[in-house]
Amino acid sequence: MARRRGFGEVERRVSASGTVTYRARYAMPDGTRYSRTLATRMDAEAWLVGERGLIDRDEWTPPQARRAAEEKRQRDAAFNTVAGFAERYLSERSLRPTTIRGYRKLLANRILPYFGETPLTDVSLTDIKRWRASLDPTTEATNAAAYRLLRSLLQAAAEEELIDRAPPKVRGASSAPVRNVAVPATLDELAVIIDAMPERLRLLIVLAAFVGLREGELLELRRSDVDGVAGRIDVTRKVDKDADPGTQGACPDCGRHISSPKTRSGVRTVHVPPPFVKMLQEHLLEHTAEGPTGLLFPGDRTDHMSVRFLMDRYRPAREAAGRPDLTIHHLRHTALTLAGQHGATAAELQARAGHASQAAMAIYQHATLDRDKALAEKIGQTYEAWSADRTS
């Protein structure tokens, strides 16, 4: 039976299993009825009192709309924590898979253990300084990367007006001192490494050490990217070796993620020093996969070569040269050092390397293909002179 009151009514209900509940209900002037079932009569009557209070204060809206608004408020509150906003930040931006992977690692290991459930509005400069002081001092580079990510999150939150402004910068927090300076390889060391590599991989070492191509760029070079007569190579793609296989942009044959270079300046044309053009031509004939899209350095099944396969062959070669410290990236450093020694300007070095920075963008226009070719020729002349002295 329903128990009538001054506003609404409460009905006691018994289910087939014997469970007792109480349904509170009321009608609005337009005849629309609203109800809610609760566990006790006291709860049901309290709900009616609350609804009547909203009507008296002219604050009433349909209960369903209020529930939806509360759910939205709770969702917004969750997104307005550092953890919630970080998830939005990663999902709403066009970031590379490798970038997302790196950011998630920084969040999980450095940022969220300290700031995870903290509301964005509560993150202060003092909190950031305390957080930095809590980090492992032996991982300065990672700490600096974590700070840069946290600051980016807070700046994005400020742009969306979720906070009034991002806390001021912490001086020096975004950079870390360079502990291990790459030592370029000498021409003698490079000769030993090249000779110790399998024939199919010697050109890869040359393109890394004398042209300055990145590992991911080398592994994605194809026959159509190379002009064997002019010794010219177009760099337009790279393998993202740390990306999850099968993600969007993955190679259908091997699952590796292929993307354009990280910046617009990474798309470039470079020249091989003349002494190595014959090696390039022979490699195209003997070791490159068939067809215009055939990989310059294919794996065992003509798909992409794995980094492990490459390193299993490169590691003994660098040890033979007495340079166990020399990574593939250090070979690229060697190439840029050689270019600098031969008079390359900052603009030419950045153009040849495919680097980009706001400070350098204004002068990129002075780095031309003709100048890059001349630079390659100078490097080639030095190599030829060294080679002649070595054999005499």
User: Which residue type, as a one-letter code, is found at position 132?
Assistant: R
In three-state secondary structure terms, 166 is coil
Find where tokens 């990306």 sit: 243
Closest CA to 243 of 345, 377, 100, 140: 100
Q: Which amino acid makes up residue 273? A: P
Of 214, 237, 304, 352, the catalytic one is 214
Residue 212 CA, distance from chain mean position: 22
Could you tell me which residues come within 8 angstroms of residue 75 by beta carbon, excluding any fewer than 6 positions away?
none
Catalytic, 355? Answer yes
Judge whether 364 counts as a catalytic residue.
Answer: yes
- Yes or no: say if 33 and 62 are a contact pair by the CB < 8 Å rule: no
Rounded to an integer, what is the distance from CA 108 to the centroid of its chain? 15
- Phi, psi for residue 185 in degrees, rounded to 5: -75, 150
Annotated catalytic residue within 104, 313, 364, 371: 364
Integer angstrom CA distances of residue 262 from 116, 120, 122, 327? 29, 30, 34, 21
Q: Is 329 a catalytic residue?
A: yes
The CA distance from 80 to 122, in Å, is: 10
The dihedral built from the CA positions of residue 303, 213, 326 and 391, taken in this order, carries a sign that is positive
Catalytic residue among 25, 132, 271, 355: 355
Q: Which helix (H) or strand (E) holds 239?
A: strand 238-240
Q: 332, 333, 352, 383: which is the annotated catalytic residue?
A: 332
Residue tagged active-site, from 66, 75, 315, 329:
329
Q: How big is the chain by its Cα radius of gyration, in Å?
A: 32
Torsion sign, CA atoms 31, 34, 40, 42:
negative
Nearest to 36 by CA among 53, 23, 27: 23
> Would you say the C-alpha torsion 236, 222, 348, 365 has a positive or negative sign?
negative
Q: Which residues are catalytic?
A: 214, 329, 332, 355, 364
